[in-house]
Amino acid sequence: MSAGGGRRSRLFLDDLSDQLDQAFKLLRGDTDSAADLAFAGIAVDSRVEAQLLGQLARREPLAHPNHFLDAHRLAMRALEVLDRDGHRHPRLPRLWVLGAVAEPAVEYVARYVVQSYVADAVRGLSRLYARRESQTEPRSLERQLLARARAQTDRLTLGFRGAVSPLTGILAGGAAIPVLASLAKKFGHIPLYSWVIAGIIIALSVIFGSLSWVMIQGAGLAHRRATVIAVPPLRALYETIGDCGNPPQDDGRSIAAAAIGLTAVAWFVLPIVVVAVLALVR
């Protein structure tokens, strides 16, 4: 704080001027000095950099080559089981007649999450194997193991392509709102009563609320199955490779977040939209 009026000694305008000055230096071709000034203001974490250098110092392409093949086979088996049966037989509350519709819908969402997860895991392993293979000595045991595993995962990527997102139909339903509005304008001479408005709002809220429930149930089922079936073998495989990060995460949380947003749409946005559309035809 400065003595005069308690104002800051340095304003945001000063920082902005410095940034513009660096940009002008870049435009004039003085890239080295501009880059030095820009990099000087970047905070770094020496512990993270030490960890990165430690990974670089470890030159072995496989941390445990004697266990790599067994871990690879177990992971491939786990991904096969998850892809084939990981979305089946959800445990749902008693829904009587609606159970015949709810179970296939939940399985559809779970199948999307499971198949997307398996496809991401296989593609990630294929890239990882190829990178580690390039780091091995020619004709070494590690190169033979990685080349064989990489060839297998490359072939598997053709069979594991993911699935169609369950959000596609929901977005298509949302796109139908302008169409409904235009139809309402065209047939605006039809009398509209308050009970019709209330019925439309309730019906749409129930539909979107049901879709949200299905998405949460399916995403939760897929996340649970992936955690139980595939995550432990993949962690074991990544451990035998060494210094390669963590296995990919499934999309269950993203689907659940979308479902929560859909619930908000059902209870808050839809009533406003329906009332606005119907108000246009009066």
Q: Is the pLDDT of residue 2 over 70?
A: no
Please compute the mean of the pLDDT values over residues 191-203 and round it to a whole number. Answer: 63
Mean pLDDT of the chain: 79
pLDDT of amino acid 254: 84
Residue 233 token pair:
């073998």
Q: Is the pLDDT of residue 178 over 90?
A: no
**Rounded Cα–Cα distance for residues 281 and 57 (Å):** 71
Q: How far is CA 205 from CA 139, 202, 210, 213, 265, in A?
A: 64, 5, 8, 12, 8
Q: Confirm whether pTM is higher than 0.85.
A: no
Q: Is the pLDDT of residue 1 over 90?
A: no
Residues 6+ apart with CB under 8 A from 177: 273, 277
**Rounded Cα–Cα distance for residues 87 and 250 (Å):** 13
Residue owning tokens 């296995």: 247
41: confidence class by pLDDT, cuts 50, 70, 90: low
Q: Is the pLDDT of residue 141 over 90?
A: yes
Angle at which helix 194-229 crosses helix 270-280, to 10 degrees, equals 150
Residue owning tokens 């304003």: 11
Percent of the chain's residues with pLDDT above 90:
41
The torsion defined by the Cα of 260, 266, 269 and 270, in degrees rounded to 10, comes to: 160
Please compute the mean of the pLDDT values over residues 164-186 and round it to a whole number. Answer: 49
Burial 197-210 (b: 16+ CB within 10 A, else e): beebbeebbeebbb
pLDDT of amino acid 177: 46
Q: Decide which of 137 and 100 is more confident.
A: 137
**Rounded Cα–Cα distance for residues 52 and 47 (Å):** 9
55: confidence class by pLDDT, cuts 50, 70, 90: confident
Rg (CA), the chain: 28
158: confidence class by pLDDT, cuts 50, 70, 90: confident
